[in-house]
Amino acid sequence: MHVHTIAGLLSGMAAGQFSSAEITSDYLQRIASQDQQLNSFITVTEELALTQARAADERRARGEGLKLDGIPLAHKDIFCTQGTKTSCGSRMLDNFIPPYDATVIKALNAAGSVCLGKTNMDEFAMGSSNENSYFGPVRNPWDTDCVPGGSSGGSAAAVAAGLAVAATGTDTGGSIRQPAAFCGLTGLKPTYGRVSRLGMVAFASSLDQGGPLTRTAEDAALLLEVIAGVDPADSTSADRPVPRYSEALAQSLAGLRIGLPQEFFGSGLDAGIGSVINAALKEFEALGAQLVEINLPHANLAIPAYYVIAPAEASTNLSRFDGVRYGYRCEDPTDLEDLYTRSREEGFGDEVKRRILVGTYALSAGYYDAYYRKAQQVRRLIQSDYLNAFKEVDVIMGPTTPNPAWAIGSKESDPVSVYLEDIYTLGVNLAGLPAISVPAGLSDRKPVGLQIIGQHFDESRLLSTAHQFQLATDWHTLTPPGFGGKS
Amino acid sequence: MTVTTQDIENVATLARLRIAPTEIAEVTDRISSVLQLVDQMQAVDTGDTEPMANPLGEVQRLRADQVTESDQREAFQAIAPAAQDGLYLVPRVID
């Protein structure tokens, strides 16, 4: 079987070339034989997957096939799955079996997809390397000494290695786009509010957004049109119609105005990545697009603003983990205070504790104006830069990351140096915009991601722009040596 | 902004976290480096820019005040570390 995309699997099953049970078994076997090299899964749901696959095959045989019937997906272990452990990469939730499905999971199940398992991630989605997981680091299939990116590192590694056809992820500051870039995948962070956050363990509620990690923009469109939409149980979900993204992919690039922020092509950018991105931009020009230099004057303030707002919201969200209602509880608490404090001390890892402390500090009496209020003002300036730029251009492009995937452990002694790697992705979350990372080539045998940023709710334009690029190039078809050939 | 180990201990108490005495110096150091990073934004004149809490300018949507959920207490308490007779159990608070 050499089929690697959702679209390809759907047409193969429709033509009777193979069944969902067959491809699901194939993926489960690949997970069993290859994932010890990667550690991309926390839980493999073999029995559930085969049951769902057989049900999908029966529906298809009856002529009642659903939109994603029989498509085997992996889900980031941040999405609540009824009856299946949802750890969020943390000891705190190592024993947590959710009594309900996240809205994203419910929608994907209702569309007939198959759940292969739950993927590894940075604890509570706090990280850009997947080294902060209670379940150990994930390895990048392109170079197993390197990180896959994060926080959706397990999802990215699994799809890149052919252990799932696509996966869900979440993106608070780049956590879909950056691992997609490091692993050679297409990763879409939708507009804030486009996808329900219900049942997605909350990190920073004004920034978090779920989305797909796929091989192609076409597959991302197929998944987004299933998971997008208003949810009465998430009051921040956007009450707007969901376009048929997969039917809008043909839009031509002719006349497309592409903004190139000069701040994204400065001295901090790795030369190898810079030349891959410039070659991709030339390709867009050849396809009829027009390149326009723009400025985002406050772009460099995204890191400081993000590292106040995200920890502040996280410190509030994570106060729910108290050892009382669910999750980890310490042994033999002496009193209530000891129960709270020791459960949290033992249940949370170092990076999560650091962010809770920073957030609590920023929100504490006397510091609120200097930190939290200030960061929210800067956030508006950052968003205004983008909105001004979109008066002149249709989309904005640049590198997804300043550097390629780094060696596991090489930044351990300096967590702040990891924060700086998110310079091109954080502003998008602060501004609530949609953005997609697409494979644009290799630099030193590692994948490079091109980031395309769109206007609020303009995912159709992002997906068609990415799709047209993928029709003209084959970077998205590259597979990591050693994991490429499906059986 | 420089922070002391005392500041970090106070914040840890507010956050219901305990930091081992052997780790407090390193944690203080690391938190200080994060605060140094975020202090870059103090150089920007934000004047009377309105703070932004929601990127779409949305306000809280309210639903009609009607019962929509069924009782799921048993399902929720089945995953609690300690529950009995519909109650969550914690160490004795009042003697």
Determine the 3-state secondary structure of A292 from DSSP: strand
Residue numbers of the domain that contains B17: 5-42
Question: Is residue A2's pLDDT more than 80?
Answer: no
For residue A4, pLDDT beyond 90? no
Chain B residues whose CB is inside 8 A of the A357 CB are 8, 11-12, 15, 17, 27, 31
Of A304, A336, A377, the CB nearest to B40: A304
**Burial track A402-412 (b if 16+ CB lie within 10 A, e otherwise):** bbbbbebeebe
* pLDDT for B8: 95
Reply yes or no on whether A151 is catalytic: yes
**What are the tens digits of pLDDT across the range A274-288?**
999 999 999 999 999
Does position B93 have pLDDT exceeding 60, yes or no? Answer: yes
Distance CA(B33)–CA(B2), nearest Å, equals: 9
Match 């002529």 to its residue by tokens: A63
**First-last CA distance in chain B:** 44
| Sequence spans of domains, chain A | 6-251+457-477
Q: Do B49 and A380 touch (CB under 8 A)?
A: yes
Residues A140, A141, A143: CA angle, nearest 5 degrees: 70
ipTM (interface predicted TM): 0.95
Chain centroid offset of residue A283 CA: 26
Query: Average pLDDT, whole number, for chain B?
Result: 93
**pLDDT at residue A3 tops 90:** no
Is B53 contained in some domain?
Answer: no
Average pLDDT of the residues in A347-352 = 97
Sheet containing A446-453: which strands, arranged edge to edge? A41-44, A114-119, A72-76, A166-170, A210-214, A186-189, A435-443, A446-453, A395-399, A257-261, A290-294
The burial of A82, by beta-carbon neighbours within 10 Å (0-12 exposed, 13-18 middle, 19 or more buried), is given as: middle
Hey, is the C-beta of B24 within 8 angstroms of any chain A C-beta?
A: no
Is the preceding omega at residue A151 within 30 degrees of 0, hence cis? yes
With residue B32 as reference, give the H or E element that holds it: helix B24-38
What is the spatial distance between Cα A468 and Cα A393, in angstroms, rounded to a whole number?
18
Q: Among A160-169, A345-354, A361-370, where is mean pLDDT lowest?
A: A361-370
Q: Give the single-character DSSP code of A124.
A: G
Active-site residue, A76 included: yes
Using the 8-state DSSP alphabet, how is residue A300 labeled?
A: G
Residue A487 confidence (pLDDT) above 70: no
Residue B11 domain-assigned (yes or no) = yes
pLDDT reading at A98 higher than 50: yes
pLDDT in tens, A29-56: 999 999 999 999 999 999 999 999 999 9
- Asked, for residue B29, whether it belongs to a domain, the answer is yes
Catalytic residue among A40, A113, A129, A151: A151
The answer as to CATH 3.30.460.30 being correct for domain A6-251+457-477 is no
Q: How many CB atoms lie within 10 A of CB A307?
A: 26
Beta strands B87-88; B83-84: pairing state: antiparallel
CB A322, CB B15: distance < 8 Å: no
Please tell me the least confidently modeled range out of A110-114, A152-156, A416-420: A416-420
Q: What is the pTM of this model?
A: 0.97
Which among A232, A360, A415 has CB closest to B14?
Answer: A360
For residue B17, being part of any structural domain is answered with yes
Asked whether residue B30 is domain-assigned, the answer is yes
Task: State how many domains chain B has.
Answer: 1
pLDDT band at A484; cut points 50, 70, 90: low
Q: Tell me: pLDDT of A486 over 50.
A: no
How far is A301 from chain B, CA to nearest CA, in Å? 6
CB neighbours of residue A327 within 10 Å: 24
How deeply is A331 buried, as exposed, middle or buried, from its count of CB atoms within 10 A (0-12, 13-18, 19+)? exposed
Q: Where are the alpha helices (DSSP H) in A348-444?
A: 350-363, 374-389, 415-419, 426-431
Is A205 an annotated catalytic residue?
no
